[in-house]
Amino acid sequence: MEPESVKRFREYLRIKTVHPKPEYWECADFLVAQAKEIGVEHQIIEPVKGKPIVVLKLAGSDPSLKSILLNSHTDVVPVYEEKWNYPPFGAERVLMDNGEYHIYARGAQDMKVTGSCYLEALREIKASGKQLLRNVYAMFVPDEEIGGEDGMGAFVKTQEFKDMNGGFDIDEGGPSPNTTTYSFSEERTLCWVKFTARGNTGHGSQFIEATAIEKILPVIYKLMEIRDESVAELSKFGEAKALQQGHFTSVNLTKLEGGKQANVVPAEYVATFDIRITPDVDCHEFYTMLENLAKENDVELEYIKRGLVNVITDLPDTDPFMIAFNDACKRQGINRVPMIMPGITDARYIREAGIPAIGINPMFNHKLLAHDHDEHIIESEYLRAIKFYVDMIESMGSVSSS
């Protein structure tokens, strides 16, 4: 028989909160209905029009204490529908040969499963009649997948967020391919940068000087050199490469544009890079290097998006929240291994607001399918993850000092 928690998860997955036109109000309606059923207070905050944030509150007995935040994003990335074996918004529950049920949908891993676990955990705790010491807030925010400026970025600046008096945030992670759980207390800094070179044009048979291509190539070579250095350093870690990648700056040339016809020397060439700067280096020094590189080669530089600060969560194991966090992990059989988040998440806004944040996903044995075709989760792991969050929330919500 299908568990009720799975039915509710599938309902959430069927809401098309997919970019570029996410159905945020349908999603808000679903979450408000959940809050009412669970029997907890809710609030809708709309710091940016059309981008509602829904917050559920499990009231603690001492509201003067700092609260526990549970963060998840409601939006999902677009799909290549023709590549899917199951409808991406059908949330089909499929019985596999090994006897396990899989739930297929965009957002199944990234990250409606986590949002659903929060809802189910709050439901279970509320139904048990237990009251925790601290307020616990489950936050459902839009736009993470497009940078979060209008979502969590705007939310942290509101009075409503400040009034929540957050003391610790549990945030986005990824499922594990085995039984080791990765936890994320820091991220690399995002830098999307566009270099535009302009130069002399003319007939493709001639030796034209100072062309756009001549100017852009040294910029590309230099950045590819940085990429090669990172790849070489990282390869020294062998099997542990994936775990260590956050310690190295990644560089990818993601767009190369220019040229009109084979026999016309292009007057303009544009190279766009996705760079992720490791927290081990000062991002401002990196930006100065990029700016000098552009200047030396007579190339224009434009940042499409970049981070200016990189706050990391670095609490000692003796911190009362960390003790509660680690105890819950231990009880639930979670072997937590810290890792630098390869991408950027909304946790960075929360850290910038001065609140420690750790990203985690306790599910085991999943192929990582975030943003991929046939994204799915294993039902039994979802059910186990709910138990993890019940324990985690009770543990964190009962911390008496800090």
Ligand X SMILES: CSCC[C@H](NC(C)=O)C(=O)O
Q: So which residues are the catalytic ones?
A: 75, 144
The interface with ligand X within residues 162-201 (CB under 6 A) comprises none
Backbone Cα Rg of the chain = 23
The entry of ligand X, Zn ion, none near residue 146 (CB within 5 to 8 angstroms by kind) is ligand X
Which of 87, 147, 218, 320 binds ligand X (CB under 6 A)? It is 147
Binding mask 344-363 for ligand X (x = CB under 6 A): xx------------------
Binding mask 97-136 for ligand X (x = CB under 6 A): ----------------------------------------
The burial class, CB within 10 Å (0-12 / 13-18 / 19+), for 16 is middle
Minimum distance of Zn ion from residue 362's CB (angstroms): 16
The entry of Zn ion, ligand X, none near residue 183 (CB within 5 to 8 angstroms by kind) is none
- 102 assigned ligand-binding residue: no
The entry of ligand X, Zn ion, none near residue 111 (CB within 5 to 8 angstroms by kind) is Zn ion
| Torsion sign, CA atoms 355, 148, 367, 118 | positive
Which of 6, 69, 101, 110 binds Zn ion (CB under 5 A)? It is 110
Using rule CB under 5 A, residue 111 touches Zn ion: yes
- Amino acid symbol at 117: C
Distance CA 60, CA 207 (A): 75
Using rule CB under 5 A, residue 357 touches Zn ion: no
The interface with ligand X within residues 296-355 (CB under 6 A) comprises 343-345
Helix axes 4-14, 379-397, angle to 10 degrees: 100
> Which lies closer to ligand X via its Cβ, residue 22 or residue 397?
22
With contact defined as beta carbons under 8 Å apart, do 196 and 300 qualify? yes
- Amino acid symbol at 99: G
Q: What is the DSSP string of 125-184?
A: HHHHT---SS-EEEEEES-GGGTSTTTHHHHTTSHHHHHT-EEEEEE-----SSSEEEEE
Instruction: Work out the number of other CB atoms within 10 angstroms of the CB of residue 166.
Output: 23
Residue list for the binding site for Zn(2+):
73, 110, 145, 172, 371
Where do contacts with ligand X occur on this chain (CB under 6 A)? 145-147, 343-345
